[in-house]
């Protein structure tokens, strides 16, 4: 039997992070090594707990700091936080390649959303015009959401001769 993957969660007290942390503790293929919160000593946590992956559901500026610290410690960052810039993603990709660790920035972890983005990308060339419209609860922090932006980018990648724009 293979060893379980050692996983930590940054933002484990938040909406998504708390649900994820609880779910990871019930997953036999995962060894949940703990959560990190704002104000905790991340470097010390990573040194002591030695996670193989750090899943991040914090804020964009924290997520970038956490992801780069994870990479420096040899852990793969899994960023579920919206709002990273293209430059941030490029910087993280460069850091991961340099340390030879995997990493992912995922705008949405829901299977339905991932399938929607994939199918929209396949359908994009077959339509004259495409529009992404989204609705959220009143406390949603980012608009447009990371999912909407990722969907739009994927659509644009298949529609190179047509303009891409968004407005808040």
Which residues are the active-site residues? 136, 140
Alpha-carbon distances, residue 69 vs 8, 31, 80, 91 (angstroms): 13, 20, 16, 13
CB atoms within 10 A of CB 154: 16
CA distance 166 to 162: 13
Burial class, 56, CB count within 10 angstroms (exposed 0-12 / middle 13-18 / buried 19+): buried
Alpha-carbon distances, residue 96 vs 30, 78, 156 (angstroms): 22, 11, 26
Establish whether the linkage from the previous residue to 43 is cis, with ω within 30° of 0. no
Specify whether the backbone of 167 is left (phi greater than 0), alpha (psi in -120 to 50) or beta: beta
CA distance 10 to 62: 9
């Amino acid at each position: 039997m293979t060893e379980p993957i050692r996983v930590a969660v940054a933002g484990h007290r938040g909406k998504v992070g708390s649900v994820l942390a609880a779910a990871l503790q019930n997953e036999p293929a995962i060894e949940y090594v703990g959560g990190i919160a704002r104000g905790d000593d991340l470097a010390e946590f990573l040194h002591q707990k030695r996670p193989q992956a750090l899943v991040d559901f914090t804020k964009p500026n924290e997520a970038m700091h956490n992801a780069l610290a994870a990479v420096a410690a040899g852990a793969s960052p899994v960023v579920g936080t919206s709002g990273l810039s293209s430059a941030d993603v490029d910087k993280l990709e460069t850091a991961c390649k340099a340390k030879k660790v995997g990493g992912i920035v995922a705008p949405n972890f829901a299977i339905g959303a991932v399938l929607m983005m994939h199918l929209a990308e396949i359908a994009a060339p077959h339509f004259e015009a495409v529009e992404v419209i989204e609705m959220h609860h009143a406390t949603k922090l980012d608009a447009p959401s990371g999912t909407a932006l990722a969907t739009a980018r994927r659509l644009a990648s298949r529609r190179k001769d047509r303009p891409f724009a968004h407005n808040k």
